[in-house]
Amino acid sequence: MRIVSIEEYLADPPPLGGRIRPDGRVDVYESVSELPPSPPPPLPPITPRQLRLALAGAGKLTQVDVAIDAMPEPARTQARIHWEYSVEYERHHPLVASLGAAIGLNDAQIDALWQQALEL
């Protein structure tokens, strides 16, 4: 890997690309082995049944209603509609992160719960 200015990079883009550094210079990849790993694929959506069973298994199901009830309006009504009427849940929906945090789950724990739900 070599480091070049952004001007050099734009004038002659390398075939494998590069990564812009915070200082504005560019790390240019010269071989496939230097490429950063691909991010993992996003977790697929799950059904309400899967989510509720996984939450119940983790002892967190009853905490969801408490967390929703503690929200200010209009967020409370919107969250209640999502919780009660969604036909599937997407892992990276903002409500998943906020409700997860409200019931004491961090991102890694939500991912693990999601993986469990996918198997139900």
pLDDT in tens, the chain (120 residues): 889 988 888 888 888 888 888 998 998 888 888 888 888 889 999 999 999 999 999 999 999 999 999 999 999 999 999 999 999 999 999 999 999 999 999 999 999 999 999 999
Distance of CA 88 to the CA centre of its chain: 16
> What DSSP line would sit under 24-35, residue for residue?
S-EEEP-SGGGS
Task: Write down the pTM of the prediction.
Answer: 0.70
Q: Collapse the DSSP code of 10 into the 3-class scheme (helix H, G, I; strand E, B; otherwise coil) and give the result.
A: helix
